[in-house]
Structure 1
Amino acid sequence: MVVTDTQPVLVVADRYGAPLADFYYLAEGAMLYVHWHGNLTAEEVVRAVSEGSKLLGAYSYSRVLNDKRDTSGDWSDALPWLEYEWLPQAVTRGVRAIAYLLSPDLESQIVSQEFMDAISRQLHTALFLQEEPARQWLLLQQ
């Protein structure tokens, strides 16, 4: 993880108190790194993204490194909300690119691909299996 010596600026827990998503602001590259955990549901994804979206007002970033390598689950019911509610707000507030680190879980990979296909018309997007290439790609995005 690129943020081993950095504290998260926001930690969102699931309904049982277990880690769901850790948000890190990386000033170098104006980047938000989101590290997801556990078996994701649509409800939890919407809640965590809603909480994380509040960081757009507090930090200036145009790139998102979305790390779902430690997750599983079908969160596809969140796709309409992400595309029609979150995406327009994120673009308006300056988000320009998302690099996506895929989960090893096939079900989650399928949903992730659907998500990236839906948002690729408005943002620069790319899927990755490893962090370093994802981070380097993001740094090249304007």
Structure 2
Amino acid sequence: MHHEFNNTFGEVYLFTVFDQPNNWIYNDWQGLLSPGSVLEGCMGVLDILQRTQCAYMLNDNRRVLGSWQQANEWIEQEWIPKALAAGLRYHAHVVAPGVFGQAAAEDMHLRVGNSFHMRLFEQLDDAQTWLREKQLADHQTALGE
């Protein structure tokens, strides 16, 4: 299950997929993101989340240019409650290079608060490792270990 979103120039700005082998939703955001593209992409991510009820998400912003902070209020008020209702519990976010992308991610992190566990990473490998650790801990808890 996946979605691909294109801007008005036909360029992909988001590829989102339920990565079944890793049991997480992977979002690959790219390029300059308008507020409208962020909202449209987030709704596509939410669709996959609602269908899978997956507790783990990996947001990869390494190829994002600029800031998407203008969408954070909508994400906080509209998207987060729906994502929580669909089962999201862990969100690993690989920040975009540059101060604007990092500032947007830090602002979102503050807005998330205690809603779900969110960590910011500079490296994809570190984000993947953190999600696997959370999955292992959840599995051990479920087994009563």
TM-score (norm 2): 0.86
1:73 aligns to what? 66
Aligned length: 135
The DSSP-based 3-state class of the residue aligned with 1:25 is strand
CA distance in 2, matches of 1:45, 1:114: 15
**Structure with the higher fraction of residues in helix conformation:** 2
Deviation at 1:19, TM superposition (A): 0.5
Q: Write out aligned runs for 1:25-40 (5 A).
A: 25-40=18-33
Amino acid at match of 1:14: N
Q: 1:52 aligns with which of 45, 53, 57?
A: 45
2:132 aligns to what? 139
Q: Write out aligned runs for 1:61-140 (5 A).
A: 61-140=54-133
Percent of paired sites with the same residue: 24
List structure 1 runs of 4+ shifted beyond 6 angstroms: none
The DSSP-based 3-state class of the residue aligned with 2:15 is strand
Q: 1:41 aligns with which of 34, 46, 67?
A: 34
Deviation at 1:90, TM superposition (A): 0.4
Structure 1 gap ranges (5+): 1-7
Structure 2 gap ranges (5+): 139-145
Deviation at 1:10, TM superposition (A): 1.0
Q: Is the 8 A contact 1:30 1:60 kept in 2?
A: no
Higher CA-based Rg:
2
TM-score (norm 1): 0.88
CA distance in 2, matches of 1:29, 1:122: 23
1:5 aligns to what? none
2:141 aligns to what? none
Deviation at 1:27, TM superposition (A): 1.8
Q: Is the 8 A contact 1:41 1:73 kept in 2?
A: no
CA distance in 2, matches of 1:70, 1:105: 11
CA distance in 1, matches of 2:87, 2:121: 22
CA distance in 2, matches of 1:94, 1:28: 18
2:13 aligns to what? 20
